[in-house]
Amino acid sequence: MSKVYDNIMPTLALAVLNGHEQHHQKQTIVNLTIPYYPLPMLLLGIDVGTSSIKVSVVDAETQQSLASAQYPETETGIISHRAGWAEQSPDMWWEHVQAAILKLNASGSYNPTAVGAIGIAYQMHGLVVVNKAQQVLRDSIIWCDSRAVELGNGAFEAIGEERSLSHLLNSPGNFTASKLAWVKANEPELYAQIDKVMLPGDFVAMKLTGEVTTSVSALSEGVFWDFKEDQLSEDVLGYYKIDKNLIPEIKPVFSEHGSVKRDVAEKLGLQPGIPVAYKSGDQPNNALSLNVLNPGEVAATAGTSGVIYGVSDQLVYDKQSRVNTFAHVNYAGDEKRVGVLLCINGTGIMNRWARDNFAPGVSYPEMNELGRKVPIGSDGLSVLPFGNGAERMLNNKLIGAHLQNIDLNKHTQAHIFRAVQEGIAFAFRYGLDIMRENGMNPSIIRAGRANMFLSPLFREAFVGATNVPVELYQSDGSVGAALGAGIGSGTFKSGEEAFSNSLPLELVKPEATGQYEAAYQVWKEQLLQKLNGSK
């Protein structure tokens, strides 16, 4: 039987099975005329966030989302056994992924059996460890956990700062390799049972397919990758005495990372055998979803944490490792594309804290409108939003979050709302200045109209403080993951084709930059005082 015939028959059988007779065509094969009724090609994207799981189904032809769902509706908690620790259950992620997909199917907006490929985006830097039976051995030590900082500092010193930065483009710091070293040092009996080490997206793909794979991009975000040698880092593995056999099979980001198992497919209403064709950390994926793929292009996001992410064709690094460089989704040995990432742990989580503690029951739009009535600078009230773990851009210091200069006769609830959003915008400006020191000078920043970028107050403060316009798109991590699956499965020939219908919704231009600059300098002085007084 010819390859053409092999490809046609499943489409025919599936189309007849599901009654799709509206698009009747004919195909001639070996002098035999066979009618077939092709289904629309749909792509499923899964975004494994810290707060929830988001899933979307995208029509490959139009590149538009047909339906999206989130599970759970309320934000997922973080387990913190000690100050500075942060964990979540991988098995809980998997339960929530399944629930989200079933909720999406229940919308009735598409035929689940028409899904042809799956893409996964995930919270970066988390550690998942499983045994030979693919059973999770412990809760995941996630991105904002600070317990491995000193181990990473020790590795940085032992490997040598210059060698570490020039080969890893980062300090081992608080990344996945250092978290694994912490497990090795503190939980040796558990460590001895480990068969494979994964990032969160690798784990979800494993549950879907039964196969364990990873990518250079994922390994680089865990600081397992040597960019100069284009291989696993012998320095990191050697210093931590980690067996390289714990690392899964390495595949390109855009490639088949296994096919969906029959039992999983039947439970989720999908066709068995469809590929997981894309896996990426949430920030490279966010950049992909904004079509940020080429040198000089820059993306931003402000969810639980905040990120500015710029693409470069140079193996750049910050000498203090305050911003970090990882392999981008389109990194290849002959065409190096790296993402320079500024991360601020305390952004949306700070805004949520302010709402929950100062205005329970008040909506975010109501908060934003109240805050806009207060003048720039919040009448002297200042917020440092650094209360969600050690901040890399602050040299991994834990300074906590601060409300400063409270005037009990002047400041109101509205002042707090404005000061929080300005403080977050000023944190972005502080980090962007570090990126500028390292050659990243954006003339425009792309962002999805989501999370904190939904707030006109925050958008105004962001562009006013950074003096960089922001181009807003209808962008979503799960939609980006779906389109990534389209690239990985060959549905699209390139990233350019995958995002050919993506157009900006709005351009936000800087205004009142002088007032924001003055307020920022006051804020920065307060931050430096805290940094100089911290360990």
Instruction: Fill in the DSSP letter of residue 135.
Output: -
pLDDT at 6 over 50: no
DSSP 40: P
Phi, psi angle pair for 35, to nearest 5°: -75, 140
pLDDT in tens, 48-93: 999 899 999 999 999 999 999 999 998 899 999 999 899 999 999 9
Strands (E) across 318-389 are located at 324-327, 338-344, 382-386
pLDDT of residue 392: 86
Cα–Cα distance between 276 and 273 in angstroms, integer?
Answer: 9
- Residues in CB range of 238: below 8 A, 6 or more apart: none
- Residue 40 is predicted with a pLDDT of 60
The residue that leads in pLDDT, 20 or 150, is 150
CA distance 214 to 220: 11
Pair 72, 100: CB distance under 8 Å: no
Using the predicted structure, report yes or no on whether residue 4 has a pLDDT greater than 60: no
pLDDT at 304: 84
- For the stretch 151-164, pLDDT in tens is 999 999 999 999 99
Please write the tens of the pLDDT for every residue from 262-284.
999 999 999 999 999 999 999 99
Residue 6: how many CA atoms within 13 Å on its side-chain side? 3
Q: Say how many C-beta atoms besides its own lie within 10 A of residue 405's C-beta.
A: 16
pLDDT score of 416 more than 80: yes
What CA–CA distance (Å, rounded) separates 406 from 205?
A: 49
Q: How many other C-beta atoms lie within 10 A of the C-beta of residue 228?
A: 12
Looking at residues 510-520, what average pLDDT do you find? Answer: 98
Q: What is the pLDDT of residues 295-354, one digit of tens each?
A: 999 999 998 889 999 999 999 999 888 999 999 999 997 889 999 999 999 999 999 999
Surface-to-core class of residue 246, CB atoms within 10 Å of its CB (0-12 exposed, 13-18 middle, 19+ buried): middle
Selected residue with higher pLDDT from 3 and 370: 370
pLDDT at 411: 98
Q: Is the peptide bond before 469 cis (omega within 30 degrees of 0)?
A: no
Give pLDDT, residue 534: 61
pLDDT exceeds 70 at position 8: no
Q: What percent of the chain has pLDDT over 70?
A: 92
Rounded Cα distance, 177 and 479, in Å: 29
Tokens of 347: 């952004």
What is the spatial distance between Cα 432 and Cα 436, in angstroms, rounded to a whole number? 6
Q: How would you classify the pairing of strands 306-312 and 276-281?
A: unpaired
Whether the CB-CB separation of 114 and 39 falls below 8 Å is answered with yes
pLDDT band of residue 103 (cuts 50, 70, 90) is very high
Query: What's the pLDDT at 33?
Result: 38
Q: What is the pLDDT of residue 299?
A: 97
Per-residue confidence (pLDDT) for residue 475, from 0 to 100: 87
Q: Tell me the torsion sign for CA atoms 407, 413, 414, 420.
A: positive
- Sheet of 298-302: strand order equals 324-327, 338-344, 306-312, 298-302, 445-448, 470-473, 506-508
The pLDDT tens digits for 349-403 are 999 999 999 999 999 999 999 999 999 999 999 999 999 988 989 988 889 999 9
Average pLDDT (114-131) is 97
DSSP letter assigned to residue 113: G
Mean pLDDT, range 461-474, rounded to an integer: 97
Q: Are 435 and 418 in contact (CB under 8 A)?
A: no
Q: 226-235 — which CB contacts under 8 Å span 24+ positions?
A: 226/167, 226/168, 227/167, 227/168, 227/169, 227/315, 227/327, 227/336, 227/338, 228/166, 228/167, 228/315, 229/167, 230/333, 233/167, 233/168, 235/159, 235/163, 235/164, 235/167, 235/168
Q: Residue 12 above 70 pLDDT?
A: no
CA end-to-end span of the chain, whole Å? 71
Distance between CA atoms of residues 393 and 175, nearest Å: 14
Better pLDDT: 67 or 22 = 67
The pTM of the full predicted model, rounded to 2 decimals, is 0.85
Kindly state the average pLDDT of the residues 31-58.
76
Cα–Cα distances (Å) from 136 to 241, 244, 293, in that order, read 22, 19, 34
Q: What is the pLDDT of residue 75?
A: 85
Once rounded to an integer, what is the mean pLDDT over residues 439-467? Answer: 96
At 516 the pLDDT is 98
| Mean pLDDT on 238-261 | 98
Q: Does the pLDDT of residue 30 top 50, yes or no? A: no
Mean local confidence (pLDDT), 5-13: 33
Domains defined along the chain, listed by start: 3-36 (no CATH), 42-289 (3.30.420.40), 344-474+506-533 (3.30.420.40)
Least confident of 48-52, 125-129, 253-257, 375-379: 48-52
